[in-house]
Chains A and B, each alone.
Chain A
Amino acid sequence: MFWTVTLSLLEGFLTTVKLFALTLLFSLPLGLVMSLGSMSKIKVLRYPIVFLIWVMRGTPLLLQLLIIYYGPGILFHTNVWGSGDGGRFTAALVAFVVNYACYFSEIYRGGIQSIPVGQYEAGKVLGMTNGQIFRKVILLQVIKRIVPPMANEIITLVKDTSLARVIAVYEIIWSGQAFIKSDGIIWPLFYTGAFYLIFSGLLTLLFRYLEKRLDYFR
């Protein structure tokens, strides 16, 4: 029985990890672009982005998942997501990427805006180009400041992936819960929890290491 459960949970966990990794892969750069847009002087660029960020951060991810998955089909009678498991996974991924890009963009924005203007000015009077100032002076300081809030957000993402089950993406909790119905046992759910704990524990260690590495300056 233990092996059956383990195998089944591993299968669900694979989906969880895939959703997690792909969300990061797309939302980290998208968030950066959005943060630059949200600080832009061009209003037609800034306003829509600020609005999108407000909506995505102000409504539950669960709601966004449902709307993104069912919305196109019901409103426009087209199935943009394709059929079956793959389609549902894509819909979930899109919802996660947009939602997390909004959170990340706010973290980037906070980090970039927290750098004193004197750092830019010092670079300028030393004859550096804007690109050099950003890459050689600003970037590492921003990274140092955003590591702790990013760590928080990324660990939240680990747990948030379980929300994908509302549109029937078979992630790990789904796999664990199935045993309640089929075998009347609860311990696979605890076992599921262990997966999450180990995963977020490893991430915590990784981020702690990063913070340490950046500890040499203030």
Chain B
Amino acid sequence: MSILEVNHIRKNFGETEVLKDISFSMEEGQAVSIIGSSGSGKTTLLRCLNFLETPDEGTIKVRDEVLFDGAKKENPSEAQLRQRRLHFGLVFQQFNLFPQYTALENVCLAPQLALKEKNEAQQKKITEMGEELLERMGLSDRMGNYPHQLSGGQQQRVAIARALALQPDILCFDEPTSALDPELTGEVLKVIRSLAEHHTTMIIVTHEMTFARDVSDRVIFMDGGRIEEQGTPDEVFGHPKSERTKRFLAGY
């Protein structure tokens, strides 16, 4: 059973067709990289998976549970939407940390709010989990800092810890290093690499080709709202079949 199955997803913004019939699936513990030129619809696809956008057609299934079916014209309630979103995590290009909270508070806020009844033991458990996550991100000495006191790379690592805190089935990254100075990308990529080594299920949209090749189990090349080619890193990077893929990769 695939952990994620995406079938025939379409999305229009007004007249523009941004996603045209996207289908793919992935297995638990896999890291899938999505590459493709600017405007090919990578961000839109991640936003559809996280229910920040509603696809016009298609289905999204997680562990055989249908989370979205475009054929059923349903209007999910806010609570239903929230339930579905929790299957996915999203790390944004621009981090989007909450400025008024420390690194640790950023990580713990959502889990704390999700508690049915707030007792001290539970709160303490969440704090401990938050500390552990930040430690894994190499930020043990930065837990009490506010976002503006952190470098971009540190902020992005806090954002990764924040997403992990909710234990999503699938963690999505939208160009996690694109907003960073070149000398800071390494520390973020290192963290993502270690997540891959621990078999965290991930979808990574990235322009870091070497990284995508190294880290992922599968690679998807998107072009003009379609999946032009997909396969193992070796297939896509080493022996691309499509002319467009070849031309795109030649640019790197």
Q: Which residues of A contact B (CB under 8 A)?
A: 116, 118-119, 121-130, 132, 136-137, 140-141, 144, 216-218
Known contacts A217-B146, A218-B99, A218-B148; is-contact A121 B113 (Cβ 8 Å): no
Tell me which of A116, A119, A126 contacts B110 (CB under 8 A). Answer: A126
Asked whether, in the complex, the Cβ of A137 is within 8 Å of the Cβ of B98, the reply is: yes
Interface residues of B in 94-142 (CB under 8 A from A): 94, 96-101, 109-110, 113-114
A32 and B88 alpha carbons, distance in the complex (Å): 35
Known: A125-B52, A128-B113. A217 touches B99 (CB 8 A): yes
Within 8 Å by CB of B85, from A119, A127, A137, A216, lies A127
CA distance A141 to B101 in the complex (A): 11
* 16 new A-B contacts at CB < 8 Å, known A127-B166, A129-B78, A216-B146: A118-B96, A121-B92, A121-B96, A122-B92, A122-B98, A124-B82, A126-B109, A126-B110, A127-B86, A127-B114, A128-B110, A136-B109, A217-B146, A217-B147, A217-B148, A218-B147
Assess whether B36 is interfacial by the CB under 8 Å rule.
Answer: no
The yes or no answer to B153 lying at the interface (CB within 8 A) is no
The majority secondary structure among interface residues of chain A is: helix
* B50 touches A (CB below 8 Å): yes
The size bracket of the interface on B is 20 to 34
Q: List 9 A-B contacts (CB under 8 A).
A: A116-B94, A121-B96, A124-B52, A125-B50, A126-B110, A216-B100, A217-B147, A218-B99, A218-B146
CB of B98 within 8 A of CB of A127, answer: no
User: Does chain A have a CB within 8 A of B225?
Assistant: no
Q: Is the CB of A121 within 8 A of B52?
A: yes
In the assembled complex, the Cα of A140 lies from the Cα of B105 at a distance in Å of: 15
Please indicate which of the listed interface residues A118, A125, A140, A144 has the most CB atoms of chain B within 10 Å of its own CB: A125
CA distance A126 to B50 in the complex (A): 10
**Which residue of A has the minimal Cβ distance to B86?**
A127
Q: Min CB distance, A142 to chain B, in Å?
A: 11
Candidates A126, A141, A217; contact of B162 at CB < 8 Å: A126
Residue of A nearest to B101 (CB): A217
Residues of B within 8 A of A118 (CB): 92, 94, 96
- Whether A127 and B82, one on each chain, are in contact in the complex, defined by CB atoms closer than 8 angstroms, is yes
Q: Residue A122 contacts which of B78, B96, B100 (CB distance < 8 angstroms)?
A: B96
**Which A residues are in CB contact (< 8 Å) with B109?**
126, 136
Residues of B within 8 A of A130 (CB): 78
Q: What is the CA–CA distance of A123 and B113 in the complex, to the nearest angstrom?
A: 11
Across the two chains, which residue of chain B brings its CB closest to A126?
B110
B52 x A119 contact (CB < 8 A): no
Give the complex CA separation of A13 and B52 in angstroms: 55
Tell me which residues across on chain B come within 8 A of A141, comparing CB atoms. 99-100
B113 touches A132 (CB 8 A): yes
